[in-house]
Each structure stands twice: as structure tokens, then as C-alpha cells.
Amino acid sequence: MITRLWHGWTTTQNAQAYEDLLRSSMPLSLILESAVSCPYCGHVSVEVMPTDACVYFYECARCRALLRPKPGDCCVFCSYGSVKCPPEQEARACCASAVGGRHA
């Protein structure tokens, strides 16, 4: 992967250092799976959350209801998931208003 790109004009050692740098800039302790509970039919589905975007619309796999975040929540995971979305876990603002998003 990265080592391959660097092949030819740097040492493997430097490539490793660069990869470490990349890794250290990425959050490692985030939980990326959240069990989303449908408020309409109660169906629970474990979904993998994107780290760089908010999921605003989520279709229930069972009843096909389109879930949207509750007022004040930034995404469906904050409203219906067992785990808050990655931006919330990092306590950084993701989209519009991420402050105070909690389960009602």
C-alpha cells in the first residue's frame, strides 16, 4: 500500500515512519459500529458508521421506514443508534448542529 508508493525514492524505514504519522493522525479508539433501533418496528440492525460523514437518512431493513435524526441530533446514529457517531465521539462538530445530541 503506502510502502509501494514510496518504492524507488525512499527507504522502507522512512515509509514506515510516514505510515506511523498517518496512523497517529487517525482516531483509533472510535467505535464504528452502532446498533440502530427502528422506532417504528423495533428492528435492530448493526451498521458501520462512516468516520467522515453523517448519516442523515437511514432506511429500516424490515419496515422500510425512513429514519431521520431527532431535532438536535446530527445523524441517525445519535438518535437511534447504540453508539454515537464518530464525530460526536471525538467531540468535534461534524455537520450543522452537533451540540447536545443525545438519546431522548
What does the binding site for Zn ion look like in residue numbers (CB under 5 A)? 38, 40-41, 43, 60, 62-63, 65
Q: How many helices (H) and strands (E) does the chain have?
A: 4, 4
- Cβ closest to Zn ion, residue 15 vs residue 65: 65
CB of 48 to Zn ion, least distance (A): 19
Smallest distance from Zn ion to CB 59, Å: 9
CB nearer to Zn ion: give 58 or 78. 58
The nearer residue to Zn ion, 15 or 68, going by C-beta atoms, is: 68
Q: How far apart are CA 37 and CA 44, in angstroms?
A: 4
CB of 82 to Zn ion, least distance (A): 16
Query: Which residue's entry shows cell 431521520?
Result: 68
Q: Phi/psi of residue 73, each to 5°?
A: -95, 150
Q: Which amino acid is it at 1?
A: M
